[in-house]
Amino acid sequence: MMHFPRGVLIVCSGAFVVFGGWGAVAPESMLGLVDVAATTATARADVRAQYGGFTLGLGVFLFVCVRRREWTAPGLLASGCALSGFALARLWVILTDEPVAPVIYALTISEACGAVLSWIAWSLQLQPLSAHSE
């Protein structure tokens, strides 16, 4: 069962690195998917920092957590919190605002699935060591 939590962490870290890299390198194309425009250098700097740098940094942190077994649980906690935040914020808009583009449903579902898997894997990491089998 020890492989499942680390597998979840690998997938989540990879997703954060890919989306963070995309946001840092090509923010306009990323924002275009969700009808947002960064029309000034100031806006692009902020988008690159938030969507790119922060997300990429979190992904790198999660990769470090994969490499250090004792950091697996904290990494899964961070992943679960981040993905839950994304999914819940999008769900709030879906439930309370005008209809959204289909991409928002896809993002919400993928983030919610990642969050659920992160929380399940995190809870498995909290079990006593004798319950784990390599």
Tens digit of pLDDT at every position of the chain (134 positions): 569 999 999 999 999 999 999 999 999 999 999 999 999 999 999 999 999 999 999 999 999 999 999 999 999 999 999 999 999 999 999 999 999 999 999 999 999 999 999 999 999 998 765 455 44
- CB under 8 Å to 88, separation ≥6 — which residues? none
CB 124 within 8 A of CB 7: no
In degrees, to the nearest 5, what angle opens at C-alpha 60 toward C-alphas 101 and 2? 95
